[in-house]
Structure 1
Amino acid sequence: MSPKQQRGEATVGQVLDAAMRLYAASGEAGLTVSALTTASGVSTGSVYHHFGSLDGVVNALAVRSLERLLTRLGTALLQETDARSGIGAVVLAYLDHARSSPEEARLLHSVAADREGMARAGAIRDSQEARLEPIAAWIHAHQESGELLAGLSAPLIESLVLGPVVGVVRRWLTMGDIDLEEAARVLPDRIWRSVGRD
């Protein structure tokens, strides 16, 4: 990587770090170009050069947060050799991510991230292929071994595993009336029943 590319990556990281601090302090309303340039020390022109717009900053921040979450989920899953433990590990890793990084979780479950996800789902998925491929291979291997239901596609298994967890985290973030400890005790077994063979 050339020195210019390194400087560009450093600038992008600096802007995204500042954007996350602003988002954590004031939500999306606190993310203005003026606040971002002040917090990051990066010029307005540089922000527009690297991100195109303020929406581009928010989208890049959401993608970076997604990368971190997928890395965490993949690590948890791939450390487990049996399917039931792997499914449980993914559920617990997702809940733990929300608990330990609530602002990243809030961003990932925001209207802005949903809008971006709907508009660019294929491109986002393609950009995460390196993180998703080992997960898909793990699912396939455990379907072949008979531990996971063979008639379900990998995307359907992902949906059955992550759907309830996403719903719980969204409710915890917005309503605050869900106990994540209770969810951690209950969800792994309930979700396993929908995808696993005992």
Structure 2
Amino acid sequence: MSPKQKRGEATVEQVLDAALRIYAASGEGGLTVEAVTRTSGVSSGSVYHHFGSMHGVVLALAQRWLGQLLGELVTALTQAPGPRAAVDGIVRAYLAFVRRNPDAARLLHSATADQNVMADIESVRDSQEARLSPVAEWIDARVAAGELAALPAPLIEALILGPVVAVARRWLTLGDVDLDVATESLPERIWQSVSP
């Protein structure tokens, strides 16, 4: 990697780190080019050069943390000895990620991130394909083997992740959910919904 490429990568990291700090402190309304340049020390020209707009910054930030979350979920899935343990591992990995990274999780579960990701869903899917493919392949193989309910993969995915995402959102926004209780009780309930 050339020195110029290294500087470019360092600039991108500075901007993304600053954007998350701003989001944590000021919410979506605080995410402006001016705030990012002031917090990161990077010029507005560099922000526009690397990201195109604040939309691009938010999209890149969401993709960065989505990639990390998906990586942890895939690890939990592929290390599990069977489907029931995989469901348990996914629930535990997801909620542990949320607990460890509340600011990033809050961003990932925000309306702004949803809008930005949905606006560029093709590029997001392409950038996360290496992480998404093993999940789809695992589901398809388990359904074919009769180890999961005979449902389409998107429904299996929704049955597994839907309750976990809902709990994460409540914990992040209302704080009225105990993540320890959820971590212990959700896997069995979710398994009941996807077992054959």
Q: Does 1:182 align with 2:181?
A: yes
1:33 CA drift (Å): 1.8
Counterpart of 1:56 in structure 2 is: 56
Structure 1 distance, partners of 2:142, 2:191, is 13
Structure 1 distance, partners of 2:117, 2:94, is 18
1:49 CA drift (Å): 0.8
Q: Alpha-carbon deviations, 1:116-139, whole Å to 9, x = none?
A: 233222331222100111112222
Q: Structure 1: which 5+ runs fail to align?
A: none
Greater CA deviation, 100-109 or 169-178? 169-178
Counterpart of 1:18 in structure 2 is: 18
Greater CA deviation, 161-170 or 114-123? 114-123
Structure 1 residue identity aligned to 2:70: L
Question: TM-score, normalised to structure 2's length?
Answer: 0.94
Structure 1 residue identity aligned to 2:138: W
1:67 CA drift (Å): 0.7
Structure 2 distance, partners of 1:66, 1:130, is 12
Identity %: 62
1:141 CA drift (Å): 2.4
Question: TM-score, normalised to structure 1's length?
Answer: 0.93
Q: How does 1:39-118 map to 2 (within 5 A)?
A: 39-118=39-118
Structure 1 distance, partners of 2:114, 2:31, is 18
Structure 2 distance, partners of 1:184, 1:100, is 14
CA RMSD of aligned residues (A): 1.4
Structure 2 residue identity aligned to 1:87: V
1:81 CA drift (Å): 2.1
Greater CA deviation, 55-64 or 114-123? 114-123
Structure 2 distance, partners of 1:152, 1:126, is 25
Structure 2 distance, partners of 1:142, 1:5, is 42
Q: Alpha-carbon deviations, 1:44-97, whole Å to 9, x = none?
A: 100011111122111211111111110111111111120000011001111111
Greater CA deviation, 22-31 or 38-47? 22-31
Structure 2 distance, partners of 1:114, 1:144, is 32
1:142 CA drift (Å): 1.8
Structure 1 residue identity aligned to 2:128: Q
Q: How does 1:159-170 map to 2 (within 5 A)?
A: 159-170=158-169
1:174 CA drift (Å): 1.5
Structure 1 residue identity aligned to 2:121: A
Task: Give the aligned length.
Answer: 196
Structure 2 distance, partners of 1:189, 1:125, is 30
Q: Does 1:143 align with 2:149?
A: no
Counterpart of 1:134 in structure 2 is: 134
Counterpart of 1:155 in structure 2 is: 154
Q: Structure 2: which 5+ runs fail to align?
A: none
Q: Does 1:196 align with 2:177?
A: no
Structure 1 distance, partners of 2:65, 2:9, is 16
- Contact kept in structure 1, 2:69 and 2:94, CA below 8 Å: yes
- Contact kept in structure 1, 2:59 and 2:117, CA below 8 Å: no
Structure 2 distance, partners of 1:147, 1:136, is 14
